[in-house]
Amino acid sequence: MSQIIIQGGRRLEGTLTVQGAKNSVLPVLAATIIHPGRTVLHGCPRLSDVEASIRILRHLGCRADWEGEDLVVDAAHLNRWDVPDDLMREMRSSVIFLGAILARLGWADLSYPGGCELGPRPIDLHLSALRRLGVCVRETGGNLSCEAGRMAGREIALSLPSVGATENAILAACGAEGETLIINAAREPEIMDLQRFLRAIGCQVKGAGSSTVCILGRQRTHDAEFTVMPDRIVAATYLSAAAAAGGEVELQRVDYRHLSTVTAALHEAGCQITGGRDTVSLRSDGRLRSVRAVRTAPYPGFPTDAQAILMAALLKSQGATVFVETIFENRYRHVDELRRMGADISIADRVAVVTGVSSLFGAPVRATDLRGGAALMVAALTAQGETRISDVHHILRGYEDPVRDLRTLGAEARWE
């Protein structure tokens, strides 16, 4: 499976069940070590980032095995507090294990997580949150040595609503004596899912989804089963694909509310969208209009992870759309690849202007990062001819089997 080959020009029709959310299951997998027992995760997506997390869990002494569609973790025999460089480098978000290891053992030894394709990925807010809880963090030569001793609950004010820092603070606070209050917490739905998991194993966490999260640490935990929430960015990907290609699709296992800024943009572009209890349907004639400026922001604003994807859907729209990427420094790496297909996009720092063109042309392109790769798939569906997408390992970090899903919706796509 080294390339995804897509023949453009087909309308999309059909029904697809959306996979579990990568950005929920990764912190949940770290959270499993807080309970010295067994947890069963239903609806866990089979992603390379999940496999990387499984390798870390096994390195720490846990059992982590697939049982059919379920991922079963047993953290009873956790016996290490270090995550070596090779495992840390496999997945940048492995820093999320820091808070969980500290909560369980009081010690943690991780190598500094690498940067990534989106630009520098500092963890200063993670570390300042842990220091507030009394953790002694020594940063020496690319290594983080953390000694928590007896963490004490405190008020932690985040200078910006970082998703990862919020999650690390919540996890560490589960091991702190007394109450921790996280102020200016990120409000993403994935953090609500983490709270749901922690409460399922017996932790006392409340307020996730709001800017203030409260944790009462050192609770007795117990075995539990948990179903991972659906992936709102994967849902946004296939809605954008149908919007651009034209057609009528229904996505199942989607929480419509978590997608509202994306569906609002697609509606403004000319799609008909209806939301059910846990479904969302979209109908499009494939002739889209440009939309008002799209400015990415922390939830509930427009998700930065959907920026490239919506951009790809609008490449042939009437008019021009302005994108402002406020979250990451370097999140337009997909633009050069889209230009190879005939897109008209101009960039000035964090602003991109997409001017609709009459045609796109299939071309050999490379996935530059996870969501940039997804954007290439969306663009390929509306291009004339064949598009060959390589470096698909980026895409497989967050999409279980994009060819399977696109074919389910009627696209002409295959692996090669």
Query: Which of positions 165-224 make contact with ligand EPZ (CB under 6 A)?
Result: 165, 186
Query: Which of positions 342-381 make contact with ligand EPZ (CB under 6 A)?
Result: 370-371
Q: List, in sequence order, the alpha helices (H) in 148-231.
A: 163-173, 189-200
- 116 catalytic? Reply is yes
Residue 226: strand pairing partners: 41
What is d(CA 291, CA 268) in angstroms, rounded to the nearest whole number?
Answer: 6
For position 124 contacting ligand EPZ by CB under 6 A, the verdict is: yes
Query: Which of positions 246-305 make contact with ligand EPZ (CB under 6 A)?
Result: 304-305
* Closest approach of ligand EPZ to the CB of residue 95, in Å: 8
> Which is nearer to ligand EPZ, 34 or 327 (by Cβ)?
327
For every residue of 54-89, DSSP letters joined together read HHHHHHTT-EEEEETTEEEEE-TT----EE-HHHHH
* Closest approach of ligand EPZ to the CB of residue 33, in Å: 17
What is d(CA 42, CA 29) in angstroms, rounded to the nearest whole number?
Answer: 12
User: Which of these, 63, 38, 146, 143, lies nearest to 98 by C-alpha position?
Assistant: 146
What is d(CA 314, CA 80) in angstroms, rounded to the nearest whole number?
Answer: 49
**By CB under 6 A, which span of 73-81, 149-157, 159-167, 405-413 interacts with ligand EPZ?**
159-167
* Closest approach of ligand EPZ to the CB of residue 348, in Å: 19
- Interhelix angle 22-31/163-173, rounded to 10 degrees, is 20
* Closest approach of ligand EPZ to the CB of residue 115, in Å: 10
Residue 247: strand pairing partners: 12, 284
Q: How many residues bind ligand EPZ (CB under 6 A)?
A: 23
Chain residue whose CB lies nearest ligand EPZ: 164
Annotated active-site residue in 44, 62, 116, 271: 116
**Catalytic machinery residues:** 116
User: Interface with ligand EPZ by CB under 6 A: which residues?
Assistant: 22-23, 26, 93, 121-126, 160, 162-165, 186, 304-305, 327-328, 370-371, 398
